[in-house]
């Protein structure tokens, strides 16, 4: 009598286990909203995803099981409940496709606890931004160390179609099926200079050469004279450090720049200096305004180059 009661209890317990094992299978319920069917995928009683694509379902057997698949045959003219009974070996996968499976019942053929697990897939689309690679345009109107952004980038958008696979409600993998561009991304366009930067440039660009380097009036003219209207910007011939700025005898208001390679440049007869001694300058920086100060007969820039303190003809480095 006691033994029988115990067996009854065991039998009851097994039915409960079968029910519990079913609950762990992923399942889905379809609902129609405004003509679009939405499928809510459940893991147990917990909704985990909503998709407009009918999920496919797989069930994998752990241990040998006998399974009954119940389906409300919605596409069946008789509208009968479809029941399929099947035996599965351990690790068999039963594909139940897009049928409206509402219930899976099974019992394991040995006395051990039956386990059945579920797999669902879902496909969905989303739109996200994307960028395209920068475009470089080589430009022979710029020095090789110059860059200029002529167009800034803007993201485009693309629609991505993704398939996700869930095992027992946990995402197992995700694959991109397709991407379609909705709006084109705009690349950043950068112009990159190709011209080798000259070692030295003339301090002014629009000038009349009124005196060359060499003997003049019984002495030596140590530079070249570039006639420009008073107030013209005077640029540094190259990078360097200002070693003289202000009045300096016959040079009048002048600037000297030490290029730290044995070469010093001098700019004479200016009306104003815009730099001070010790200041670092870059090639092309405006160091002062032209004038006619010191020993000068008219507005011009006296441009002088010295190598190891010996005046040289600037045509060695610059053309004019």
Contact footprint for Zn ion (CB under 5 A): 223, 225, 302
Report, in Å, the least distance between residue 275 CB and Zn ion.
20
Report, in Å, the least distance between residue 192 CB and Zn ion.
39
Residue 62, exposed/middle/buried by CB under 10 A (0-12, 13-18, 19+)? middle
Nearer to Zn ion, 171 or 216 (CB): 216
Of all residues in the shown chain, the one whose CB is closest to Zn ion is 302
Report, in Å, the least distance between residue 247 CB and Zn ion.
17
Report, in Å, the least distance between residue 150 CB and Zn ion.
42
21's tokens: 């094992």
Nearer to Zn ion, 94 or 302 (CB): 302
Nearer to Zn ion, 191 or 266 (CB): 266
Report, in Å, the least distance between residue 250 CB and Zn ion.
9
- Cα–Cα distance between 183 and 134 in angstroms, integer? 17
- Cα–Cα distance between 102 and 71 in angstroms, integer? 5
Nearer to Zn ion, 118 or 299 (CB): 299
* Exposure string over 264-302, b if 16+ CB within 10 A, otherwise e: bbbbbbbbebbbeeebebebbbebbbbbbbbebeebbbb
> What's the Cα-to-Cα distance from 19 to each of 15, 41, 105, 176, 231, rounded to whole Å?
6, 19, 8, 36, 97
Nearer to Zn ion, 11 or 219 (CB): 219
- Cα–Cα distance between 123 and 114 in angstroms, integer? 31
């Amino acid at each position: 009598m006691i033994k029988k009661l115990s067996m009854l209890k065991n039998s009851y317990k097994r039915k409960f286990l079968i029910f519990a094992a079913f609950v762990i299978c992923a399942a889905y319920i379809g609902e129609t909203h405004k003509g679009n069917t939405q499928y809510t995928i459940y893991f147990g009683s917990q909704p985990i995803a909503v998709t407009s694509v009918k999920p496919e379902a797989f069930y994998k057997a752990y241990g040998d099981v006998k399974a009954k698949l119940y389906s409300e045959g919605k596409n069946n003219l008789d509208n009968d409940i479809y029941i399929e009974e099947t035996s599965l070996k351990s690790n068999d996968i039963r594909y139940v496709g897009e049928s409206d499976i509402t219930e899976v019942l099974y019992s394991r053929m040995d006395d051990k606890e039956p386990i059945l697990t579920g797999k669902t897939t879902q496909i969905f689309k989303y739109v996200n931004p994307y960028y395209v690679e920068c475009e470089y345009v080589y430009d022979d109107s710029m020095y090789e160390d110059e860059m200029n952004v002529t167009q800034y980038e803007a993201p485009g958008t693309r629609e991505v179609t993704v398939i996700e696979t869930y095992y027992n409600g946990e995402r197992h993998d995700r694959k991109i099926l397709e991407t379609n561009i909705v709006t084109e991304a705009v690349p950043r366009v950068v112009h990159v200079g190709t011209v080798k930067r000259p070692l030295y440039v003339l301090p002014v660009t629009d000038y009349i050469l009124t005196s060359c380097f060499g003997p003049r009036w019984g002495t030596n003219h140590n530079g070249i004279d570039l006639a420009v209207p008073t107030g013209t910007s005077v640029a540094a011939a190259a990078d360097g450090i200002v070693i003289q700025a202000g009045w300096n005898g016959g040079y009048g208001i002048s600037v000297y720049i030490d290029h730290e390679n044995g070469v010093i440049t001098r700019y004479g007869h200016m009306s104003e200096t815009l730099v001070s001694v010790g200041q670092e300058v870059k090639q092309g920086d405006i160091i002062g305004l032209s004038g006619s100060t010191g020993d000068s007969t008219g507005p011009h820039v006296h441009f002088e180059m010295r190598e190891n303190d010996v005046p040289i003809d600037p045509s060695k480095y610059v053309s004019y």
